[in-house]
Structure 1
Amino acid sequence: MTNIKDAKCVLVIGATAGIGRALALAIHDLDSKPTVIAAGRRQERLDELAAKSGDSRIKTVQVDINTTYDKLKQFVDDLTGRYPDVDAVVLSSGIQHIFDFEKPESIDVNKIADEFNTNYVAIVNLILLFLPHFLKLNAAGRPSFIIPITSSLAIVPRPTVPNYCATKAALHSFSLSLRAQLAHTNVRVVEILPPLVESELHDHQGTTPALSIFWMPLDQFIKLTIEGLVRGDPEVVVGMAAAVLQRYEKGKREAVEQIYVRGDPAFPPS
C-alpha cells in the first residue's frame, strides 16, 4: 500500500501556522527526504519556516487561496511548471469565525462567504486543478496524494462556529465521494480529521485561554498524524476525533465506497 513516504514532492497549503506549518516540517523530516513546498499568505512566516529546516528541501510560495478560480488555475499551472515532481498536496488552509444567530444584526455576511470559500470552495477548486497533473503522474507509474484537512467538527458541530463546522462537513462529505470516484486510479485521498488541537486559529476570537485547557498539544497531534500517514490510513483520526468518528460514522466510508465502486442495489443512483 502506498503512503506518504512514496511522495517525492509535497505541497502544503496553509503552512504559515499551526497544523500546516508543523506538518510541513514533519514531512520534511521523513527518512524518504521529500521536497516540501510550503505555501501560504504570509511571506515572512514562509521565510522563517524555510530557514528552520536548515537545508534546501523546503521551498516556499506565497498564495492566498481566497480568490477566483482563474487565479487559482494560474497558481497551479505555475507551480506544476516549476515543480513537475509535485505529487502530493496537503490542504490545510482554514479560517474560523464565531457567529451568534440570536443576534442576526451582528453577523458579517462577508465573513460567512470568506469562510465558505477558503475552507471549501477553494479547496475543491484546487483539487480539480491538480487532478490532471496527478493523473498524468499515475499514467507514468507514480502514485499521488490528495490530503484534505477537515475536523471532528465535521461530524459533531460546535454551535458557536456554525459556518466553520458546515464548511468542514461539506469537505468531509466531498472527500468520501472523491475517494470512491478515484478508487480505480493511483491517486490516494487521505483525509485528516483533527480533534481540538493547539493552534493560532482561535486567537482572534479570544477563546484560546479556555480552549487550551482541553486541546491536544500540537507536537503530539503531529506525531500521531504522521504515523497514520505512514501507515497509509485512508482517514487519519487521533484523540477525541477517533472516538467521534467511531461513534457517529462507523462504516460510513466503506458504505460510500460500496455504493459507488461495487454498486449496492440497496442504494440506487438518484
Structure 2
Amino acid sequence: MRIPLTALLAGALASVLLAGTAHAATSSSSAPAFKAALAKNPIYKTGKLGYDTCDEQDVQSADVDEVRVYLEGVLDCLDAAWKPVVERAGFTFSKPTLRLITKPGAPTGCGDKFPAAAQAVYCSKNKRITYLVNSAVVQEPNDLMLMAVLAHEYGHHIQRLTGMFGALTPYKRKNIARVLDESRRLELQAECLAGTFIGSVWHSLGRKETDFTYITGSGGSGSVLSLLGIKGEDQAQQTHGSAKNIGAWLKRGYDTESAGGCNTFKAPKSQVS
C-alpha cells in the first residue's frame, strides 16, 4: 500500500520536534492573535512564486544513488524558486543542506536522533534536511512523494529564514493548547508551501493530475491516521492536523502558487484542526 500522506505527516512531526519547538489547539472557532512574524509576515505579500520549470530525474526504485540525484536536482529548483521570494520579503536567503540516510537513528544536528516514524526532518539549528531513503517513499517508479516530502521540509526552511520559528510560543505546562495550535498551523503551512512549489512547476513535470490528487487524499490514499495505526486524539493529529486539512492546505498552495495563500495563522480552527 502506498502511504503518501503518512510520509508527510511523520516527517513533519519529527521536523518540528527536532527543531526544538513544542506545539497546539484553541477552543475558539476563529484564529487567535499571533505575533506579526507569524500572522503578518512579509512573505505573504510576495505574490506568485514565479518559477515554472523543474527537470525531474528518472527514479525507478529506492536506490540511494538514484534518489540522491533526483533530490539534489529538486533541491536546486527549490533554491532557485524561493531565493527571490525570500529576498523580496526583506530576508536573507541561505540554502539548506541535504543528508540522505538509509535507516533511522542518525544524528540530525538538533540534539536528537532521526526518529523511526519519520520520512524526513528539518533541523533549524543547522538548516539541514535529513531524508530517509526507503521503499515507503518510492512505492512506484517516479513517485511524486519524493518531491512532496522534500518540498514540505523546505517549507520549514522558509519558515526558519523568515523568522517564524523564533515567534512561536515557548512550551510551558499550562499553555499546551496554544503550543499545539501553533504546531498544527506551522505544519499545515509547510504543507501549503510544498503545494505552492509543486503547483508552480507542475506543467514542466509532464505528470498526470492523479499523481497529485493521490497525495491530497482525493485519489483514495485513505486516512493518514489509520495508515499510521493511530486512533483518536493522538499526538500526530494534535500537532499536524487531520488528513483532510493536510490535503486541503497542500491543494491550496498548489492552486494559489503563492505563499500568500498559506497564512494558516489567520485561518479558523476548523481549517487547522
TM-score w.r.t. structure 2 length?
Answer: 0.34
More strand by share: 1
Q: Which has the larger radius of gyration?
A: 1
TM-score w.r.t. structure 1 length?
Answer: 0.35
Higher RCO by CA contacts (8 Å cutoff, separation 6 or greater) = 2
